[in-house]
Structures are given as structure tokens and as C-alpha cells.
Amino acid sequence: MVTVRGMDFTMGDAAAGLRGELRELIGAQVPDGFLGAFTDEPADLATAQRFCGVLAERGLLCAAWPQRHGGRGSSVWEQTVVREEMWAHHEPRGAQYMGVNWVGPAIMRHGSAEQQREHLPPIAGGEVIWCQGFSEPDAGSDLASLRTSARRVGDGWRISGQKIWTSYATMAQWCFLLARTSDRDRKQQGLTVFLLPMSAPGIEVRPIRSMLGPHHLNEVFFDDVPAEAADVLGRVDEGWSVVREVLAFERVGIARYARCERLLQLAPTVIGERWETMPAALRSRWARMLIRARRARLLAYQVLATQSAGAVAPGDVAAYRIAVTRLDQESAALLSELAADVPDEQGARRHFRRAVDDHWRYANAATVASGSIEMQQILLARALLFGTRRAGVPA
């Protein structure tokens, strides 16, 4: 039973059983010390690809998807359990969360029957990687200012422009691309979503080195890239409504609070008997941070409950993003202090130090990932000041 107004989120026995099943799978299939697929060690990516196959065989990769699309018809709360356990254990699905969390659902809601047949089974099977062609050098937080254009040529299109910060572009087979198809009075109008194969002629990918490791950041150039009418998702010139929905799902799709909470809970165990002799102020900060992690979890659940009722609340999503990003960064700073007192020796202690370092790097990147904090503050202010209604809910 899950209610919104009273904040009474009890997931039930099915979700609890699923959490146990996932932890058993991770323990059996993912090596100790795994810190994600995107390292300089090729075996880490191979681990993620293999693990995706294991999840897919059990219908767990896309648990909440209908069975006809490769899921097992689970509730949004069971899918949330999957998200939490994956992120808490350094995302052993690799790059699949993008296709699972919002590309697939967007195709279910807006795609043609042919697009659904082509794209949904490979996503549910963990066989395909998607990248997101949104941000540009002069259109990041202000995404609607993008300049990548698609012009009509016969029955199809030709796409030219540049995207930046495109995660997984070096490994992706498909791109969820937003391009301008006409000039309108409002910049949010005249935009269209294309489902574009990365093998199309005219696409060039240039990696951008960063502290997050390989595959995360790339530039993508489109030089007169051909696209067909069948590659358009939804209606021509009405892509902004699709993207608004996508961004709301993307911003709650990563359960960042779950990794924060897991690492915070591990700290006393790893530090051991010295925990009781550590400064009281430091342990007090640890306790407050753990409370904040659980508060962020409840904010996420509130947004998910609203979305599962058929609505998207921009203000609620923005509030969650602000809370979880600050949690990410401040918990990373605290954990770094705690980890400094952990001996750098083999086994669980060394893994904890490495996991905290990995958490710190991702937490710093979270400031701008999926929309900068400043833009989230603007969205929240608009919702509070002007009563922005929930998308999908009649006024």
C-alpha cells in the first residue's frame, strides 16, 4: 500500500523479496570491488553486459514494463527497488538505465507500433545501448535554444549540428535526438525527437576526457545525416512535450540516495572499534546525513507516486533533484573525511576507500548532470510562485 498525502510508503512483501533476490544476484554475479562499467578495465564493462543478460532472463531489467514488451508487469515500486539496488552497488547494469528508465517508456507512450516492435525488445533484453542527443555548446540548461537542425529532403530529413556531454556515445547503437525542424515564435516550439542509429553516415563522435572515466562525456557531430519519416518519435514540431516528460522521468530514474545511504551505513562497520572514539561532532554529522538520505528517498517516492497516477509535477521533480544532489555532494565530503581514517589495506577497507572516491567524483558531476542545480531552483521557484500545475493533470 502506497499513499502520497500521508507519506505512508510501504512497498510490501513482493518488493522486499525482490530486494533480497537482487542482492543475491549481485553477490553471485558481480565481483567484489566492482565500481561500475566505465573504467579503464575492459572486464568491468564485460561484467555489466553479462549481468544485464541475467537480469533480462528473469524479466528484471525492465521489471515494471508490460510482459508483452519484455518486462514482468511489476509495480513502479518494484522497479524502484531495482533502481535503488543497482545504484547502491555502483550500477552493474552499465549504461542500460537510460533505455530502461525513459527511452523505452517514451517509445511506449509516443512511438508507433513499428517503433515499439523494433526498439522495445532489444532494450528489455539488455542488448542495446542508447545515448541522449540533447545538450549543445550553447544550449545546455536552456535546452530549447538548441541549434541542431533537421530539414526536409523529399520524404525524409537531413540533420546537421553538434551535441555535447553525450554519455555513452562511443558505445551506443541508437541516439534519442532532439533537433529543430522549424522556426516558431516560442523556442520550445518547432522541435522534434528522432530515433537515430549511431551507424548512420555523417555522425562523428569525439570523446571528452574527464575524471568520470571513459564513455561518459563526448561530442557528437552531425553532418547532413539522413533520417526517415519513420525515425520521428511522436509528432513533428511537438518534441518539447515529449522531452519535458522524459526529463522528469530521467531526474528520478537514478536513485542517488541509495548509494549515499549504503556507504554511510558501511562506515561504522569498516572503521570498526575506532568508531566510538571518533569526535562526537563527526558522528553527529554522520547521523544527520543518514536522516537526509532517508528524507531524499521519501521525496523520490512522492514524485514516483504522482507519476504513477498519470501526472508529472515539475516543481516536485525539481525539489527532489535539489535535495538529492546536495545530499550526494555533502555526504561525499563527509564520507571522504571518514575514509581518511580507514587504513589502506586489502579487502573491505580498501574497497570502501575506493567506493567513497568514486562516489565523490560522481557527486561533483551531479551538479550539472540532468539539468544544473541553478535551473532546478528556477523551476521550483516558478512552481511555488506561479502555481505551475502538474503536467497531465487538468487545470
Residues sharing a CB contact under 8 Å with residue 184, sequence separation 6 or more, in sequence order: 190, 237
Residue 310's alpha-carbon distances to 248, 253, 313, 314, in angstroms, are 12, 16, 10, 13
Beta bridge partners of 163: 220
In whole angstroms, give the CA distance from residue 252 to residue 154.
40
DSSP per residue, 83-97: HHHHHHTT-TTTTHH
- H/E stretch holding 130 reads strand 130-133
Residue of 82, 84, 77, 63 lying closest to 9 (CA atoms):
77
Q: Which entry of 136, 250, 337, 374 is annotated as an active-site residue?
A: 250
Is the C-alpha dihedral spanning 73, 83, 291, 315 positive or negative?
negative
Indicate the burial class of 395 (C-beta count within 10 angstroms; 0-12, 13-18, 19 or more): exposed
In whole angstroms, give the CA distance from residue 180 to residue 192.
6
In whole angstroms, give the CA distance from residue 221 to residue 123.
25
* Pure H helices in 111-157: 113-124
- List for the chain the helix, strand, coil content (%; round to 5): 50, 15, 35
Is the C-alpha dihedral spanning 17, 103, 125, 74 positive or negative?
positive
Can you state the angle between helices 76-88 and 256-271, rounded to 10 degrees?
A: 50
Q: Is 250 a catalytic residue?
A: yes
Which residue type, as a one-letter code, is found at position 135?
A: S
Beta bridge partners of 174: 130, 197
Q: What are residue 177's phi and psi, to 5 degrees?
A: -105, 135
Q: Please give the grid coordinates belonging to residue 222.
A: 552531425
Contacts for 379-382: CB closer than 8 Å, 24+ residues apart: 379/314, 379/315, 379/317, 379/318, 380/315, 380/318, 380/319, 380/322, 382/314, 382/315
- As annotated, the active-site residues are 250
